[in-house]
Amino acid sequence: MLKTQVIGYKESTRNCFSKELNNKTLKLFVNKSIFSKIPASALEQFESISQIKEVESPIIAHSDICPGFSVPIGTSFLSLKQSGIISPSAVGYDINCGVRLIKTSLNKSDLTKDKLIELRNKLRSLPIGLSKDGYKITKKDLDEILNTGINWCIKKKICSSSQTNRIESRGVCKFASSNLVSVLAKKRGIIELGTLGQGNHFIDVLFVDKLFNSVLSKKFGLKKNQVVILIHTGSRGLGHQVANDYNLLCAKKIPFPYFEFNSVLGQKYFKAMSAASNFAFVNREILSLRIKGIFSDIFIGQLNLKLDLVCDLSHNIASIENINGQKYIVHRKGSTLVTKEGPIILPGSMLDNSFLLFPDKCISKTFNTLPHGLGRSKSRLDAKEEININELITIMNKNGIELGGRSENVMREEQPGAYKDSSEIISTLKQLKLAKVIVSFKPIIVITG
């Protein structure tokens, strides 16, 4: 079992725990059950953020809080743009890791057993895991991708400009500079565009299980039993290399590596991070293109087959935002920006439902931030040792879910018991008036990296 530590926290309101430390308020938007199981190492990392004088109060965490590299996943904080900080560790190694939701014109009834198996096998043949079989691009293409993001895809007629309003930042981080991305990072990225990656990255095929809000579900074009696709991936080795390169350059390393935002190196990292973010937006678009090709091949008789983007959201990024009339640098590591237009994706586990959410009236209490997922309840090692691959496949088959992946070890690490129960997270978000539930999605195919 993971050691937990809850010293000094009090339940300030129902489903919200807080602690005063270094003249700052630490806030955890979790229920009692989840709070009692937070690993001590995650809380220690969370509390360490308060040591940096430039960080503003409050510092927040959601139910998906768990240990990360120096800074815990599931947290966010802000500092004033004019005097603030930027940290590669507080953004994370997978810069602009994010989730994309695509709706299809298919119904669950269209996915016969034979079609499901064929679809699983073809999705499994994509460049998943640590694949280097990326979409073929030139060095000039890569620089343009890093500088212009999704606009490169529009120029190449890979996607239309009409979908950019469904992508965070319209798919372009405008401060990006490819010149500040290292040769090694580019060498890694040029062979990885349109690949999934390993760890908790996935491609899921799901169907709309329940409608909770008929007005909002209609607004986003979702109906009962409709088939959808979730893609979870980021900037791959390019983003990891950018984070590593700049972490090594940080002179200030306590409690974790960071730069003054307006310093020369702070600005260089911000522009390199923005370039890696642009790569991630394009990576998800190219992977979508490959997935759409598979659906078109399998459902060739469906003359009216359509696959449309619902939203594409990041959960590892630092951005400049206007809050209460002032400009801040907002770090979100394993947490998602909420806009007034919504929606927000909360992915589930292999068995547990995923959810589409919409911001509620109290969302400003978290400076417009929601959790990026359920959060791990077991370490990767514990999850893997708890189950063998045959047991996992049997469980999935009993629940009518086709499982595929490149690595049996990764599938075991990502087994359903590795994650928290979605009902607790959803209940907390609703009770705190942070989010409304639009629909839930039930998985039928799960592809891990």
More confident call, 324 vs 304 = 324
Residue 122 has pLDDT above 50, yes or no: yes
| Domains of the chain, first to last | 10-448 (3.90.1860.10)
Residue 301 has pLDDT above 80, yes or no: no
Residue 342 has pLDDT above 70, yes or no: yes
Query: What is the overall mean pLDDT for the chain?
Result: 95
The predicted structure's pLDDT at residue 287: 98
372 is known as an active-site residue: yes
Longest dimension (CA), the chain: 64
- pTM, two decimals, is 0.96
Report, as an integer, the average pLDDT of 137-162. Answer: 97
Q: Which of 201, 240, 331, 372 is catalytic?
A: 372
Going by pLDDT thresholds of 50, 70 and 90, the confidence category of residue 303 is low
Model confidence over 33-82: pLDDT tens digits?
999 999 999 999 999 999 999 999 999 999 999 999 999 999 999 999 99
Going by pLDDT thresholds of 50, 70 and 90, the confidence category of residue 4 is very low
Going by pLDDT thresholds of 50, 70 and 90, the confidence category of residue 410 is very high
Report, as an integer, the average pLDDT of 381-386. Answer: 95
Measured CA to CA, the distance from residue 197 to residue 203 in angstroms comes to: 11
Q: What is the percent of the chain where pLDDT is above 90? A: 93
